[in-house]
Structure 1
Amino acid sequence: MSEKIIAIDWLSELSQLNTEESVSFFYNILYDLMDKYVPKRLVKSNTNFPPWYSRALIKLIRQKTKIHTRWKKYSNAYDYQLFKELRSKEKLLQKECYSNFIKFSEDKIHSSPRYFWSFIKSKLGSNSVPTHMNLNGETSTNPVHICDMFNDYFNSVFVTCNDAIQFDLNVLNNSTSVSISSIDILQPTVSKYFQQLNVNKGVGYDKVHALLISRLYEELSIPLTLIYRKNQSLNDVFRTYGKRH
């Protein structure tokens, strides 16, 4: 994909197009390349084990299970001894993996909280709404009532309009205005922000994953910088991009 994107003369291709047409042209190219080069088969992770299990631990568990099955079948003393050794190693490695995962989740909780929530879900054994809930001494097992209780709880932590901070509109009106057309959009800046995209988030309306953009940040920054600048110079409406994002 990288070679295909770089091979396009974007300056020439977009020169006679307005902003809307340029965005459509860009997406048509990108979608064609995604259809050709991006795998569509979903590779599922092994959900039979908790998220803190390492590959080494999973391999050890499978090896232990295999030896245990063989011992049950043939009652060989050597197999039983080997099974006990593997079981001891498994327990030690399991504790180590659990400790490492907890530490990693704590370190990452601000930048990537998904590790923490994957741990919580694995402990609960379910991703659904709880079957019962207690709030202020009131207990309910009704799903609709539980949702209402969630709403009441979260609603209580927000301030009302009367309690909200009141801004001095005169300060805003007297502030120095900045023309959007005066902002200089540079390719390195666009490229830098593409690199910083959170690849743990899902796709947007345009169905382009942040992981793809972050890996092709240099290549995609070229046409998009041109489109941003075109939008500035023409004072055009960014309808297509707005719909997709």
Structure 2
Amino acid sequence: MRVNNVRRCDAPLVGEDNHHPSVEFLLDVNAHRYLRKSRCSGFNFRRGDYQALNAALLRVDWPGLLENVDVNAGVNVFYNILRGLISEHIPQLNINKNFPFYFSKDTIRTIRRKHKFHSRYKIYKDPLDYDQFRHSRALSKRLISRDFYRYLDTIEQELPHDSNRFFKFVSHRKCHSKFPSVMMRGDVEASSPEEISNLFADFFSSVFEPVFGSDENLDIVDNKYNSNYLHEVTISEESVTEALRTLNQNKGPGPDEIPPILLRNCCDSLSLPLAIIFNRSLQSGVFPHCWKLSKINSFHIT
């Protein structure tokens, strides 16, 4: 916000004296517009049928499927089978961004009913529609208040053990994403999520400095790292199982959208294919391309 054209007011709205003259000015207000959060869908991994999913994974002939393929092809086979079984045994979840996440189904249903009767009343002017609208409006207010205070009570009880719920609540109260709708880097302007992401990528790549000054000290041939030691390392199924059991199931997924809760609940059935892929990677000196991807959370500083 900027103040412009400050001057003596010719027509003051209230009385003034010589020592306190009235002034008028223009306010240049640049209202920040933020990127809208789109409606998204996914899987409700907390309600998955992991018993059936484990049984299906154990029936897969992983050694036969991964025997004569390279590391990247093997990882693709692994994900294709896993995602296909996820769609069969994990229920889908539509995330509705039009309502707060703590609203119950009854509250959302009542709010929609209120909107329906309000629209009908504006068209037909039927007093019965207005009565239904007034009843739904009063009921929705009570339900919203109930859901809100129930959620606050849950946060207060879980705060000593899980602070993520509290920060999720704070983020929701902001009612927008962390990024403005238009961002600039130099003379380049970006106004869509993809363009803004590319701006960040260009900036990060411009300031990135490799740990090694070059690849001269690495024995790399045909994009493969030749080592006299790594190919001698063997990863057992038991070690993979134990590692998966230590995952925090409350954490979110990575770029592959496979959350820790699934990996932990399916540790016995996923240890074999993962051990095969890990050992193939060490023996061939090739790290899977899709596992080089990562999520970067950028914090916009104003």
Question: TM (normalized to structure 1)?
Answer: 0.53
Residue 68 (structure 1) aligned with residue 118 (structure 2): yes
2:238 pairs with 1:189 = no
Q: Which amino acid aligns with 1:47?
A: K
1:47: which partner in 2? 97
Q: Partner of 2:143 in structure 1?
A: 93
Task: Give the letter for the 1:209 counterpart.
Answer: I
Aligned residues: 186
Partner of 2:79: 31
Match in the other structure for 1:151: none
Q: CA deviation at 1:60?
A: 0.5
1:240 corresponds, among 260, 270, 287, to 287
Structure 1 residues 215 and 244: alpha-carbon distance in aligned structure 2, compared to 1, 3 A threshold: same
Are the counterparts in 2 of residues 190 and 225 from structure 1 also a CA contact under 8 Å? no
Asked if 1:6 is matched to 2:55, the reply is no
In the other structure, the counterpart of 1:158 is none
| Alpha-carbon distance in 2 for matches of 1:74, 1:241 | 63
The correspondence of residues 73-88 of structure 1 with structure 2, limited to 5 A, is 73-88=123-138
The 8 Å contact of residues 102 and 147 in structure 2, kept in 1 or not, is answered as yes
- The code of the aligned residue for 1:27 comes to V
Q: Cα distance 1:241–1:185, how it changes in 2: closer, same or farther (>3 A)?
A: farther
User: How well do the aligned residues superpose, as a CA RMSD in angstroms?
Assistant: 4.5
Task: Kindly indicate whether the alpha-carbon contact (under 8 Å) linking 2:107 and 2:143 is maintained by their aligned counterparts in 1.
Answer: yes
**CA shift at 1:98, angstroms?**
0.5
**CA apart distance, 1:215:** 4.5
**Deviations for 1:206-226, whole angstroms, at most 9, x for unmatched residues?**
x25125424533211344467
Q: 1:10 to 1:122 in 2, by over 3 A?
A: closer
The answer to whether the Cα contact below 8 Å between 1:26 and 1:223 also exists between their aligned partners in 2 is no
| SS of residue in 2 equivalent to 1:106 | helix
Measure how far apart 1:72 and its partner are: 2.2
Contact 1:71 1:80 in 2 (8 A): yes
Identical-residue share of aligned pairs (%): 22
How far is the alpha carbon of 1:117 from its aligned partner? 3.3
CA change 1:244–1:188 in 2 (3 A) is closer
Aligned partners of 1:38 and 1:8: how far apart in 2? 14
Q: Could you list the runs of 5+ residues in structure 2 that have no partner in the other structure?
A: 1-52, 186-232, 293-302
CA distance in 2, matches of 1:48, 1:12: 47
Change in Cα spacing, 1:190 to 1:4, as seen in structure 2 (3 Å) is same
Residue-by-residue CA offset, 1:48-76 (whole Å, 9 max, x unaligned): 22222222111101101111122222222
Higher-strand-fraction structure: 2
The letter of the residue matching 2:57 is: I
SS of equivalent to 1:73: helix
**Residues 78 and 227 (structure 1), Cα distance of their counterparts in 2 relative to 1, 3 Å cut:** closer
Equivalence map 1:70-219=2 (5 Å): 70-109=120-159, 110-111=161-162, 113=164, 115-128=165-178, 185=238, 189-190=242-243, 192-193=245-246, 196-198=248-250, 200-203=251-254, 207=256, 209-210=258-259, 211-219=261-269
Higher relative contact order at CA 8 Å, sep ≥6: structure 1 or structure 2? 1
Q: By percentage of residues, which structure has more helix?
A: 1
Structure with max Cα Rg = 2
